[in-house]
Amino acid sequence: MLYWKHPDNDSDFAAEPKKTSDGRDYVAVYDDQEVDFAQAKPKEPPLAAGGGPKKLLYYRNPMGLPDTSPLPKKDWMGMDYIPVYEGEEDEPGTVKVSVAKLQNAGVRSEPTAMRRLVRPIRAPGIAKPDERTLLTVALRADSFIEWLYVNETGRHVKKGEPLFRIYSPDMVKVQVDYRISANASGLRDDRGALRRMENLQIPEAVLVELKRTREPVISFDWTSPVSGVVMQKKAIEGMMMKAGDEMLRLADLSSIWVIADVPEQDIAQIRVGTRAKVSFRAFPNEVFDGRVTFILHELEMATRTAKVRIEVANLDHRIKHEMFADVEINAGDGEAERLSVPVSALIDSGNRQVVIVDRGKGRFEPRAVKVGLRGDGFIEIAEGIKAGENVVVAANFLIDAESNLKAALSSFTSEPPKDAGAPATEKKP
């Protein structure tokens, strides 16, 4: 056996078994069947759109090597070079792949388009109280606790609800001073004593009673200034509390903070006001809506993460402090449309990013691009392609490999440059 030839084209040969573009096997040629190349009829040139034959440009190597000839010739195996007509030549930088190979590899293309991209950033978080709602209940004078109405941590109190009953010698004394000044001045110059009682935050109900009866109120109830939950309780019935000592700590739990640890490389994508979804392990089937309200100004040195504060509504008080949370922040503007392609279209080798542009009729062009935001399975193309161009989204590595092989063969077979450093020949006189 000498070689294999195309079943329909006597001028198309191969040194090894192969198939035609429609899947048929090349025919084996033995010694007694060798074709007389001198008498072989050349293939009829294809017709142009106007009806006449297409212009013959050159002959190319039958094995795919980047070697062309202006005249018919044979390669070292005796195979005829294949004629290339006008419209069939390869454009610089393009790769031509047969239809059969495209179908077998599952090559698929999609057009580029303008899309709104939102990139989800996932991070762990912990529920914390809203620091803006924390309130300490403390007295401005030494006092004794006669009765403790709120005697347990975690109890919910309403604004104006009595917390405890106190007796304070200093508060009684200032009431007496007020009465004396009022009696002495005929109720015309009691502003100094009244201001001292206000500075001690004596309840309004005590002042009303004092003005009505002209008698100091010895012990009275201290009410809650806000509605909230008792987070800490240091007051004990019967004990004396010094001025400024924290008796109770209250917090409004209708909203809570989730502090998320966001990796350093993702911080630039997050803005105050960005929406977030929060889920807790205690409520695996629920998602709570939140919004980024603050990004702390320093990173954790050990983990290289930044603290991002997310505010979440908690009207039913189901979310408990220190609960673990899983946070998903919708990074990116989500409003401006960006030219994007499916992520599968990008070939990223680390030092270059390439997409394969489908030029049609089995022609493909590897093109370097600059990428931007990623999200929702798409990636922004900032530079390199235009809207509407088709890019390969499946089996693009096959075409990239073909392109690299073609470039390597072209470099291997090209004529080496002349040595510019060779000494010039000396002219003889």
Q: What is the mean pLDDT of residues 399-415?
A: 53
Residue 268 within a domain: yes
The answer to whether residue 306 scores a pLDDT higher than 90 is yes
Chain mean pLDDT for the chain? 82
Does 419 map to a domain?
A: no
Residue 212 lies in a domain: yes
Residue 59 included in any domain: yes
Strand partners, 92: none
Same domain, 208 and 347: no
Within a domain: residue 299? yes
Residues 77 and 220 placed together within one structural domain of the fold: no
Write the single-letter amino acid at 70.
Answer: P
Angle, helices 191-199/169-185, rounded to nearest 10 degrees? 160
Q: What is the mean predicted confidence (pLDDT) over 192-207? A: 89
Question: What is the percent of the chain with per-residue pLDDT over 90, rounded to a whole number?
Answer: 41
- At residue 185, the pLDDT reads 56
Average pLDDT over residues 289-300: 94
152 shares its domain with 218: yes
Mark whether 125 and 259 lie in a shared domain.
Answer: yes
Q: How many domains does the chain have?
A: 4
Residue 279 to residue 266: CA distance in whole angstroms: 20
Q: What are phi and psi of 353, to 5 degrees?
A: -120, 130
Question: Exposed (0-12), middle (13-18) or buried (19+): which is 364, by Cβ within 10 Å?
Answer: buried
Distance of alpha carbon 254 from alpha carbon 269, whole angstroms? 29
Same domain, 25 and 61: yes
Quote the CA–CA distance of 378 and 116 in Å, as a whole number.
10
One domain, residues 48 and 191:
no
What angle, rounded to 10 degrees, do the helices at 204-213 and 169-185 form?
40
Asked whether residue 318 falls in the same domain as residue 341, the answer is no
| Res 400: pLDDT | 62
Instruction: Say whether pTM exceeds 0.85.
Output: no
Residue type at position 377: G
List the structure tokens of 260. 């998320």
Q: Give CA separation, 100 vs 11, 33, 104, 109, in Å.
A: 21, 29, 6, 16
β-pair partners for 213: none
- Residue 423 is assigned to a structural domain of this protein: no
Q: Which pLDDT belongs to residue 413? A: 46
Shared domain check, 235 and 161: yes
Q: What is the pLDDT, as a whole number, of residue 333?
A: 57
- Is 424 inside a domain boundary? no
In angstroms, the CA 381 to CA 257 distance is: 36
The one-letter amino acid at 410 = S
Please check whether residues 126 and 144 belong to one and the same domain: no
Q: Find the largest Cα–Cα distance for the chain.
A: 143
What would the mean pLDDT of 68-78 be, rounded to a whole number? 81
Q: Which one has a higher pLDDT value, 325 or 338?
A: 325
Nearest to 326 by CA among 274, 253, 257, 258: 258
Same domain, 84 and 171: no
Which of 331, 365, 385 is the last residue in one of the domains? 331
Q: How far is CA 96 from CA 15, 89, 188, 253, 256, in A?
A: 21, 10, 104, 66, 60
Q: In what order do the strands lie in the sheet with 156-157?
A: 135-138, 246-251, 228-233, 156-157
3-state secondary structure of 377: coil
Residue 418 lies in a domain: no
- Based on the fold, state whether residues 80 and 25 are members of the same structural domain: yes
Domain extent, residue 158, equals 140-244
**Parallel, antiparallel, or unpaired for β 228-233 and 156-157?**
antiparallel
